[in-house]
């Protein structure tokens, strides 16, 4: 399920491969194997850089990674285990690149957002997004926290609350990915970036002096945006759908704190949404 290869240049390639399934990430067994491979790569001194990619064009999740069994404590622990591993990935000091051969949706995009560099194949029919809200789910792999910190609250909220998926060119324009290349050259492009790195790398939100693009939660424009979004959600859903409200709360509460606290906030809302239903 996870093809792990370490080459002579010190690049560990983690290739996600689920033959016979329409989605290449997501179910519980594969998720555990992926997290184990990430942990191994980050801790291995022989690994100088990490490359994430997929054998299938659809670098997407089928949303089965967190089965709901009704035990809140276990669900929270399982969610936080995933959060910690992805946090370990982006904080290990080694450059991490993600080569996207096609669509990156749900857990697939959340994994990519934990990489320091994202390069996608220029496939017009491919889509990138977090469509969990359309399935009555809440992004549970840091999606509400990393996306808003990456592209700003104003750009992130429509994607999170409406589940919009972007074409690769639009994703590049909005800052979700760093590069767009011809199909088949995404892995070499990601490797080239990794080989060009000469020291430790950080995510923008871990860098000194980081500011949320477009304004922090406390800025007047963003406060007005939250009030408008909350009013629209209540009018549209008549308070009967908890997930969009939870997503809005995740962004608001999470982005007034550091990323680690924000991820815990997201995990709590994930559990509440799973147990309470849509």
Question: CB–CB of 242/276 below 8 Å?
Answer: yes
The first and second tokens of residue 116, run together, are: 């320091």
**Which residues are part of the catalytic machinery?**
110, 132
DSSP character at residue 33: H
Helices (H), the chain: 28-43, 72-91, 107-113, 143-151, 153-162, 168-174, 186-196, 220-237, 242-254, 259-276
State both tokens at 158: 């429509």
How many Å apart are CA 153 and CA 45, to the nearest integer?
A: 37
| 86-89-94 Cα angle (round to 5) | 165
């Amino acid at each position: 399920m996870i093809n792990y290869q370490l080459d002579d240049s010190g690049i560990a390639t983690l290739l996600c491969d689920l033959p016979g399934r329409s989605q290449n990430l997501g179910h519980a067994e594969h998720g555990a194997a992926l997290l184990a491979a990430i942990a191994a790569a980050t801790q291995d001194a022989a690994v100088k850089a990490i490359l994430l990619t997929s054998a299938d064009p659809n670098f997407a999740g089928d949303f089965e990674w967190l089965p709901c069994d009704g035990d809140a404590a276990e669900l929270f622990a399982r969610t936080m285990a995933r959060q910690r591993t992805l946090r370990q990935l982006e904080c290990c000091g080694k450059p991490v690149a993600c080569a996207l051969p096609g669509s990156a949706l749900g857990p697939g995009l959340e994994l990519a957002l934990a990489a320091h560099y994202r390069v996608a194949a220029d496939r017009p029919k491919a889509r990138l997004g977090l469509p969990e809200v359309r399935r009555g789910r809440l992004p549970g792999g840091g999606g509400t926290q990393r996306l808003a910190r990456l592209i700003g609250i104003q750009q992130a909220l429509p994607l999170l609350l409406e589940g919009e998926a972007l074409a690769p060119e639009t994703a590049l324009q909005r800052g979700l990915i760093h590069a767009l290349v011809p199909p088949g050259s995404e892995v070499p492009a990601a490797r080239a970036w990794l080989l060009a790195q000469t020291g430790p790398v950080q995510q923008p939100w871990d860098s000194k002096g980081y500011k949320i693009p477009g304004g922090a939660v406390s800025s007047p424009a963003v406060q007005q945006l939250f009030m408008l979004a909350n009013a629209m959600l209540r009018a549209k859903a008549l308070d009967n759908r908890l997930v969009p409200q939870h997503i809005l709360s995740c962004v608001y509460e999470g982005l007034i704190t550091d990323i680690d606290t924000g991820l815990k906030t997201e995990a709590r809302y994930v559990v509440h949404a799973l147990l309470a239903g849509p």
